[in-house]
């Protein structure tokens, strides 16, 4: 299995665009990525090459040398990337570092216990029955 | 040290005294009002909790302005200059007459240490905040924007639904959660998170945590927790309006809590064990009742305004008392 960074690498705007492009299955060299992304943004081929190199150094891409060019493809899937990022957010919450800028639907750090949840489920079901009983 | 620099510690100490007084008042109000407050409509409760969180810093700054009022007023109306009424052998809180005495060296050292420590904490918080916001930005940019859901969908099997971001909050939801919820459940969680976005809860929560630094630790912990619960309950009420069924929201909360706990089983930190009623229980039980009537905060606002007016009316007396107290810290 490939080595993974301890903290997931973060992406700038162009890096994100390149990764999204490669995740859509468009493996390619710097020229093809530049044609797809760089031209309409007014970005030079050199910038695309630097971005691809940076992503390769962040362990997010693999590359094969074909003739004089490197063909790049995603080494980490979008799902794996998201899993690592969510892991960092959730890890902070579980460690008691309440992240004020994230409101999760339920408190991830709170462990209400299966018996508490079962009691609450029973209460909800009981109320539901009463509600249906009152309905005309 | 120039006289001007000599006066800085006095102003700093005065501010600290006022902030401490505010923290004491907030602690007393929180203790006296806690039982009644938890029964309030969550929106009004959220506002009151924010005011309580802001009380030490707000009162500290208001008292600083009020206490120094005789000084800055005397720059326009010299007849208001009160410094002529006492000698210079005590602390001055004055922009016109600078002190001839120094703050005790131990007190000055304590002030410096506290300032340094506070700056370090603020810096660490900013570093953590910047990293977390960049993580969220990376998630949002690489997710799939679904206009129908009004959310960004994340490619993850983990059950995740959150409103994230401070200045430009957005809803993030994972495929894992969407796959495990029926249509109504999805509607509930997304409506709840959209309510957080509209209410800008992340901004207020971040502000609240910053203001909590000026409270006693046990008061801060209670206020921050209650603020979070009030925000959650307010968004539960909004979601209930969208689906027109409070029990559906209650059911979704329990269902998602079970999914999340099943996913993170065994990974609980000891810090998360709580002796108070769990937030999920309070949220679910609140949904069994009809939503509480919206409370008007007009009376508390009028009372607070009167208190501020009285503070400024008594600024001379407050000024004297403060200088007297500060004089005990001079050498």
Query: Which of A16, A108, A121 is closest, CB to CB, to B264?
Result: A108
When pLDDT is averaged across residues B168-179 and rounded to a whole number, the result is 92
Contacts of B267 in chain A (CB under 8 A): 94
For the stretch B288-316, pLDDT in tens is: 988 888 878 888 888 888 888 888 888 77
Contact yes or no for A30/A45 (Cβ under 8 A):
yes
- Using the beta-carbon criterion (under 8 Å), do B280 and A110 form an inter-chain contact? yes
When pLDDT is averaged across residues B71-91 and rounded to a whole number, the result is 68
Which chain A residue's Cα is nearest to B204?
Answer: A100
pLDDT at residue B4, as a whole number: 65
Query: Which of B141, B208, B269 is closest, CB to CB, to A95?
Result: B269
**Is residue B3 pLDDT above 80, yes or no?**
no
- Using the beta-carbon criterion (under 8 Å), do B256 and A123 form an inter-chain contact? no
Q: How far apart are CA B34 and CA B40, in angstroms?
A: 10
Question: How close A55 gets to chain B, by Cα (Å)?
Answer: 14
DSSP string, B168-216: S-EEEEEHHHHHHS-HHHHHHHHHHHHHHHHHTHHHHHHHHHHHHTTS-
Which chain A residue's Cα is nearest to B262?
Answer: A114
Q: State the average pLDDT for chain B.
A: 84
- Using the beta-carbon criterion (under 8 Å), do A103 and B164 form an inter-chain contact? yes
Q: Helix %, strand %, coil % for chain A, to 5?
A: 55, 10, 35
In which band, very low, low, confident or very high, does the pLDDT at A76 lie, cut at 50, 70 and 90? Answer: very high
Q: Tokens for A124, please give them.
A: 């909800």
Question: How close B206 gets to chain A, by Cα (Å)?
Answer: 5
Question: How close A133 gets to chain B, by Cα (Å)?
Answer: 14
**Is residue A129 pLDDT above 50, yes or no?**
yes
More confident residue, A74 or B130: A74
pLDDT at residue B87, as a whole number: 60
For the stretch B234-264, pLDDT in tens is: 999 999 999 999 999 999 999 998 888 877 6
Q: How many CB pairs under 8 A join A and B?
A: 171
Q: How far apart are CA B142 and CA A10, in angstroms?
A: 11
| B107-133: burial string, b at 16+ Cβ within 10 Å, e else | bbebbeeeeeeeeeeeeeeeeeeeebb
In which band, very low, low, confident or very high, does the pLDDT at B101 lie, cut at 50, 70 and 90? Answer: low
Entry field: residues in chain B: 331
For the stretch B183-200, pLDDT in tens is: 999 999 999 999 999 999
pLDDT at residue B196, as a whole number: 93
Count CB neighbours of A109 within 10 A.
Answer: 23
When pLDDT is averaged across residues A48-61 and rounded to a whole number, the result is 94
Contact yes or no for B198/B166 (Cβ under 8 A):
no
More confident residue, A24 or B272: A24
Count CB neighbours of A22 within 10 A.
Answer: 21
pLDDT at residue B274, as a whole number: 42
When pLDDT is averaged across residues A2-19 and rounded to a whole number, the result is 79
Percent of chain B with pLDDT over 70: 87
In which band, very low, low, confident or very high, does the pLDDT at B57 lie, cut at 50, 70 and 90? Answer: very high
Lowest mean pLDDT among A110-124, B217-231, B273-287: B273-287
Percent of chain B with pLDDT over 90: 41
Q: How far apart are CA B200 and CA B168, in angstroms?
A: 9
Strand duo B161-164 + A102-104: pairing = antiparallel
Residues 94-113 of A with CB under 8 A from B: 94-112
pLDDT at residue B271, as a whole number: 37
**Is residue B233 pLDDT above 50, yes or no?**
yes
- Using the beta-carbon criterion (under 8 Å), do B272 and A109 form an inter-chain contact? yes
DSSP string, B301-316: HHHHHHHHHHHHHTHH
Q: Tokens for B194, please give them.
A: 């959209």
**Is residue B98 pLDDT above 80, yes or no?**
no
């Amino acid at each position: 299995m490939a080595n993974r960074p301890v903290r997931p690498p973060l992406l700038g705007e162009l890096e994100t665009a390149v990764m999204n492009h490669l995740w859509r299955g468009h493996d390619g060299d710097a020229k093809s990525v530049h044609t797809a992304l760089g031209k309409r943004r007014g970005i030079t081929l050199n910038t695309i090459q630097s971005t691809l190199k940076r992503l390769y150094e962040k362990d997010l891409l693999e590359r094969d040398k074909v003739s004089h060019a490197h063909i790049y493809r995603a080494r980490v899937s979008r799902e794996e990337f998201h899993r690592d990022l969510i892991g960092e957010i959730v890890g902070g919450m579980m460690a008691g570092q309440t992240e004020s800028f994230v409101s999760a639907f339920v408190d991830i750090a709170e462990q209400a216990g299966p018996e508490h949840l079962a009691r609450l489920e029973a209460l909800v079901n009981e109320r539901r029955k009463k509600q249906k009983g009152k309905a005309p | 040290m120039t006289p001007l620099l000599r006066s800085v510690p006095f102003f700093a100490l005065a501010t600290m005294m006022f902030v401490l007084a505010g923290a004491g008042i907030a602690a007393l109000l929180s203790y006296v009002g806690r039982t009644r407050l938890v029964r309030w409509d969550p929106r009004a409760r959220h506002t009151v909790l924010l005011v309580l969180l802001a009380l030490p810093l707000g009162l500290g700054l208001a008292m600083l302005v009020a206490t120094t009022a005789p000084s800055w007023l005397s720059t326009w109306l010299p007849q208001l200059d009160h410094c002529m009424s006492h000698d210079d052998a005590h602390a001055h809180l004055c922009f016109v007459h600078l002190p001839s005495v120094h703050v005790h060296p131990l007190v000055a050292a304590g002030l410096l240490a506290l300032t340094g420590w506070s700056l370090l904490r603020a810096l660490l918080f900013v570093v953590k905040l910047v990293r977390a916001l960049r993580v969220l930005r990376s998630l949002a940019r690489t997710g799939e924007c679904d206009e129908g859901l009004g959310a960004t969908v994340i490619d993850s099997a983990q059950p995740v639904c959150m409103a994230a971001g401070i200045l430009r909050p957005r809803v993030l939801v994972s495929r894992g959660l969407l796959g495990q919820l029926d249509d109504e459940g999805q509607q509930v969680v997304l409506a709840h998170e959209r309510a957080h976005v509209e209410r800008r809860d992340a901004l207020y929560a971040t502000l609240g945590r910053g203001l909590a630094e000026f409270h006693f630790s046990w008061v801060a912990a209670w206020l921050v927790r209650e603020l979070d619960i009030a925000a959650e309950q307010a968004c539960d009420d909004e979601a209930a309006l969208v689906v027109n069924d409070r029990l559906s929201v209650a059911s979704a909360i329990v269902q998602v809590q079970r999914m999340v706990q099943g996913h993170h089983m065994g990974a609980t930190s000891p810090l998360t064990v709580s002796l108070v009623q769990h937030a999920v229980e309070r949220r679910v039980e609140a949904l069994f009742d009809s939503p509480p009537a919206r409370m008007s905060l007009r009376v508390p606002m009028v009372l607070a305004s009167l208190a501020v007016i009285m503070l400024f009316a008594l600024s001379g007396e407050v000024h004297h008392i403060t200088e007297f107290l500060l004089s005990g810290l001079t050498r």
